[in-house]
Amino acid sequence: MSDVKEDVAGERIAKRMARAGLCSRRDAERWIAEGRVMVNGKKLDTPACVVGPDDVILVNGKPLAGAAKTQLWLYHKPRGLMTTHKDPQGRPTVFDNLPPGLPRVISVGRLDFNSEGLLLLTNDGELARRLELPSTGWLRRYRVRVNGLPHKQHLTELEQGVTIDDVNYGPITASVERSQGDNTWLVVGLREGKNREVRRVMEHLGHQVSRLIRTAYGPFQLGAIEPGKVKEVPGKVLKEQIGVGKAPAPKKK
């Protein structure tokens, strides 16, 4: 790749692709490995490549568009959808069921098949990556229905973190909202959001989760958004909450 600048001012090719709204940075690196990206007429074989404004970039034979205006949407994910662009088992996905009129979007993190509630969507893969990082420290809040009534002391102990099957989970706040028959609704808050974290922690305490609704992600609230609908975050709010060209400042724990 002698025609591609490696050590001059510019940005990594994967970051450029993500900012164009084409894919996430991780997907960009995979596409490069698959030989789907060309720079200045040569097939790229490594993501360790810095490109400048004058470099000609082709992805799947098509010119890479310039960086799109960053947009963020709040989406009320219903149960029964996978948060993936393509499911190997053929299950329905979030991206097959979005309202018409949206550009290609990427989710900020995931909600599993049976979980519902707030999912952030953006056309900027670089932004999605930044908002997923644990260093943002953004609080994720959930309403969780479990069987039985968890012991108050057990919920309090979660604030110190817990280790389950050699996986360390950070501090979690959990309190009883109300009891309903044989079930209890909890309000749960956490900052890491590891895979199936809430379900695994509750199972560790002896309580199966029968419903899980994410109500907030950092400063963004689910509010009254109906299942399957989206609401765009105004540009002014996006700038205030996220800033321009920088990740959100870590929140205090």
What residues act catalytically? 112
Spatial CB neighbours of 34, under 8 Å, sequence gap ≥ 6: none
User: 98 and 105 in contact (C-beta within 8 Å)?
Assistant: yes
- Cα 169 to Cα 184: distance, rounded to the nearest angstrom: 22
**Separation in Å, CA 81 to CA 48, 72, 90, 207, 228:** 35, 20, 11, 24, 10
| Diameter over CA atoms, the chain | 69
Question: What phi and psi values does residue 29 have, to the nearest 5 degrees?
Answer: -65, -35
Which secondary structure element, helix H or strand E, spans residue 32, and what is its range?
A: helix 25-33
User: 83 and 36 in contact (C-beta within 8 Å)?
Assistant: no
- Cα 93 to Cα 78: distance, rounded to the nearest angstrom: 10
SS (H, E, C) 80-122: CCECCCCCCCCCCEHHHCCCCCCCCCEEECCCCCCCEEEEEEE
- Cα 132 to Cα 126: distance, rounded to the nearest angstrom: 10
